[in-house]
Homo-oligomer: A and B are copies of this chain.
Amino acid sequence: MPVLVTLPTDFGTADGYVGAMKGVIARLTPEAVVVDVAHDVPRHDIAHAAWVLATSAPEFPAGTIHVAVVDPGVGGARAPVIIAAGGHLYVGPDNGLFAYVAERPDLVHAITSTAFRMPSPSDTFHGRDVFAPAAAALARGLPPGAAGPATCLAGALPWATRATARGVVVHVDVYGNLITNLPGPARPLRAGGRDIAPVRTYEELPAGGLGCYTGSAGTVEIAVREGSAAAHLRLGRGAEVAFA
């Protein structure tokens, strides 16, 4: 089967950035199949993109290449890397993007070889000049170890491991749901000075009702039926939550 290359980015789809990356991959490795994952990640929001990766990448077949570009430090000290973890390959800047999906990576290599990047990459668009060529090289079958020297991941997220009884909101999704790192099943919890009762499903909530349930990532999620829990509770990522 063709090799899949997924693209989670914060480029939006109003500019030429996503198209430029797709063009490079198609030019270098026509047999690769590019899959849009999420281009409307909030600009420069590494932690948001890390959660997007965590909740989408593992669903793809083993061997899929995930190219994640949320890169406010482009041109600076953070290394461009290739990571193998859990049967998948990841390509992007080492800035915390891979904190969930590569907690225990099998290997990490910096991208220095010109077989994996443009000969004279710009300092401002590594998506086009480094990460897309690296993904194209992997999709042609070049081994990650040929990209450059082995290294360790420096990027981190403060809450990338699951909590037990006290935790935090790790993600606010487009519906305004507050996704925590408290492990399911849902139980009564406190957040934003409020007691929040568990329900089995979102649909059990009355219209406008607040509750929590075990979300699709297996952790406890706080929601308002056909509303935004984030707006209702005025809470965002990093807010503390605890089982009552």
Q: What total of chain A residues lie within 8 Å of the partner, measured CB to CB?
A: 74
Given A41-B14, A43-B174, A76-B201, A213 and B124 touching (CB < 8 A)? yes
Please report the C-alpha to C-alpha distance between residue A17 and residue B179 in the assembled complex, in whole angstroms. Answer: 13
Bound: A122/B214 CA distance, A: 8
One complex includes copies of this chain to the number of 3
Asked if A57 is at the interface (CB within 8 A of a chain B CB), the reply is: yes
Which of chain A's residues 140-160 have a Cβ closer than 8 Å to chain B?
Answer: none
Which of B4, B6, B56, B124 has a CB less than 8 Å from the CB of A201? B124
Distance, CA A52 to CA B216, complexed state (A): 26
Q: Is there contact, CB below 8 Å, between B58 and A11?
A: no
Interface string of A51-72 (1 = CB under 8 A from B): 1111111111100100000001
CA distance A123 to B218 in the complex (A): 11
A174 touches B75 (CB 8 A): no
**Interface readout for A182-220 with B: 1 if CB under 8 Å, 0 if not?**
000000000000000000111110000000011110000
**Closest CB of chain B to A126's CB: distance in Å?**
9
Does A242 have its Cβ within 8 Å of any Cβ on chain B? no
- Are A16 and B214 closer than 8 Å at their CB atoms? no
Determine if B19 and A221 form an interchain contact, defined as CB atoms under 8 angstroms apart: no
**Apart from A14-B52, A19-B55, A76-B204: 4 A-B pairs, beta carbons within 8 A:** A17-B56, A23-B57, A73-B203, A122-B216
